[in-house]
């Protein structure tokens, strides 16, 4: 497919379309992409017309870039989006190779870096291309926008590469923190600054450097008080520091129902957040909670669930979640927050991965978040404490 145009495309128009590229959607269905390598391989064999002019190539790049706005709520849609990104990359490569002095060189390189970052999450070969390109560009005198894009890409390439190489967590986190700090020092006024600083916060939490993480949150709150990245970073720090503190977790769902953990005052509360977007671990967590419920029928235990799935055309995932609850006879209070990953509840609680747990004792004190294998023993301890507190004192 090749779309030609009689009108000269402006750099401003091209950049506006570039800004519409999907950010983060490649995280939604990586398992599907891994299962469909044959479809990916077929898409890679893109035949760019040999007689295409510079204007034709730019027009097709703009057309493909605009198509990347399409949401990818299902595995098939995700694969289609990934293939369009591969096709866009092929046209960008053709433009840069055939017309090395194109007036759209900066914009084309910015798009290429963006596409390679996304595709590198799916196939290692694209990570190699990304590393090669960032290294090549770092040796050149670049326009400010391209220099910033390349520096950001270098950080992302390191993070992806460290995971693929199975680098020790402490080494990976220290290297990531160093690169985030360097980016913030070199580009203090970048529009990416709040997101990069929030990522630094998460990295510092992983390193156990909570005081430094709190400091970075303070910087975010001063500079970007209303930015979503600031709220997420503040939530993540809260989650790491709130254990041992009184809490009352409240949230109004899209359907008007209100979650309020204080409504179970005097009981041990297990707040469970889950999504079929993380199907296997969430189903395992539901089975675990069923056993916990059955083992403590006569004890002051209150499980509260929050599902974060939303139905979409061709993907009735919340309906499936409700059916699973019915089939498994899950009768504890269940709330449905169709805002999904964008839920303000997840932001406020600092949740970055589902399923997630918050364990609150009978006095309203947060005693644990995601206790892992210790969930049963922690709940048993807190139930025993609640029972002893409520037991009448012998005269």
pLDDT bin (cut points 50, 70, 90) of residue 285 is very high
Residue 273 near residue 356, CB atoms below 8 Å: yes
Same domain for 210 and 99: no
With a cut of 50, say whether residue 41 has pLDDT above it.
no
Q: Which two tokens stand for residue 393?
A: 């004192």
Q: Do 44 and 152 belong together in one domain?
A: yes
CATH at 362: 3.40.30.10
Q: Are residues 202 and 125 in the same domain?
A: no
332 found inside a domain? yes
Residue with tokens 């997630």: 356
Same domain, 36 and 151: yes
**Domains identified in the chain, total number:** 3
Secondary structure (3-state) at 72: coil
Answer yes or no: are the C-beta atoms of 96 and 133 closer than 8 Å.
no
pLDDT at 96 over 60: yes
- End-to-end, the C-alpha distance of the chain in Å comes to 88
Check pLDDT > 50 for residue 32. Answer: no
Task: Say if 108 falls within a structural domain.
Answer: yes
Give the domain-ending residue among 147, 166, 185: 166
Residues 233 and 136 in one domain: no
Rounded to the nearest 10 degrees, what angle do helices 105-120 and 144-164 cross at? 20
Structural domain includes residue 233 = yes
Which one of 134, 166, 198 terminates a domain? 166
Same domain? 152 vs 71: yes
Contact 204, 233 (CB under 8 A): no
Report which of 190, 109, 183 is spatially closest to residue 152, judged by C-alpha positions: 183
b/e map 19-49, b = 16+ CB within 10 Å? eebbeebbebbeebbeebeebbeebeeeebe
CA 123, distance to chain mean position in Å, is: 18
CA angle in degrees (0–180, nearest 5) for 234-238-243? 175
The yes-or-no verdict on residue 31 having pLDDT over 60 is no
Tell me: pLDDT of 279 over 80: yes
Number of residues that this document lists for the chain: 395
The answer on 316 and 176 residing in a single domain is no
Q: 126 with 10, same domain?
A: yes
Same domain, 301 and 212: no
Mean pLDDT, rounded, of the chain:
85
Q: How confident is the model at residue 395 (pLDDT cuts 50, 70, 90)?
A: low
End residue of a domain, out of 150, 166, 182: 166
Helix (H) or strand (E) holding 349: helix 344-349
The continuous run of DSSP H or E covering 123 comes out as none
Q: pLDDT tier at 12 (50, 70, 90 boundaries)?
A: very low
Shared-domain flag, residues 386 and 287: yes
Q: Which domain holds residue 222?
A: 170-241
Residue 395 lies in a domain: no
At 9, the pLDDT band (50, 70, 90 cuts) reads very low
């Amino acid at each position: 497919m090749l779309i030609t145009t009689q009108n000269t495309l402006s750099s401003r128009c091209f950049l506006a379309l570039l800004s519409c590229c999907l950010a983060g959607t490649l995280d939604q269905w990586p398992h599907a992409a891994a299962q469909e390598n044959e479809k990916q391989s077929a898409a890679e064999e893109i035949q760019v017309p040999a007689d295409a002019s510079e204007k034709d190539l730019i027009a097709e790049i703009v057309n493909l870039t605009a198509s990347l706005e399409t949401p990818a709520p299902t595995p098939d849609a995700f694969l289609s989006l990934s293939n369009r990104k591969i096709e866009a990359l092929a046209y960008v490569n053709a433009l840069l190779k055939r017309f090395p002095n194109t007036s759209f060189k900066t914009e084309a390189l910015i798009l290429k870096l963006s596409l390679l970052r996304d595709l590198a999450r799916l196939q290692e070969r694209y990570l190699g291309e990304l590393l090669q390109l960032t290294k090549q560009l770092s040796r050149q005198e670049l326009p400010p926008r391209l220099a910033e894009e390349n520096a950001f890409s270098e950080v992302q390439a390191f993070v992806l590469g460290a995971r693929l190489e199975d680098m020790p967590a402490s080494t990976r986190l220290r290297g990531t923190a160093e690169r985030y700090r360097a980016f913030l020092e070199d580009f203090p006024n970048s529009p990416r600054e709040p997101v990069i600083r929030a990522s630094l916060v998460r990295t510092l939490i992983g390193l156990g450097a909570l005081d430094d993480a709190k400091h970075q949150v303070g910087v975010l709150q001063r500079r970007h008080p209303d930015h979503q990245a600031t709220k997420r970073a503040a939530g993540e720090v809260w989650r790491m520091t709130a254990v041992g503190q009184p809490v009352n977790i409240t949230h109004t769902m899209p359907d008007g129902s209100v979650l309020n953990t204080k409504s179970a005052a005097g009981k041990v509360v297990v707040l469970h957040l889950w999504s079929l977007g993380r199907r296997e671990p969430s189903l395992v967590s539901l089975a675990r909670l069923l056993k916990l419920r059955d083992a403590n029928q006569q004890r002051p235990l209150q499980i509260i669930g929050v599902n974060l799935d939303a139905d979409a055309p061709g993907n009735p995932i919340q309906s499936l979640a409700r059916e699973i609850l019915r089939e498994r006879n899950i009768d504890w209070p269940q709330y449905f927050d169709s805002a999904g990953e964008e839920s303000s509840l997840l932001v406020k609680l600092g949740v970055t991965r589902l399923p997630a747990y918050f364990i609150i004792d009978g006095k309203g004190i947060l005693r644990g978040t995601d206790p892992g294998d210790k969930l049963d023993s922690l709940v048993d301890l807190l139930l025993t404490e609640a029972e002893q507190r409520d037991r009448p004192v012998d005269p």
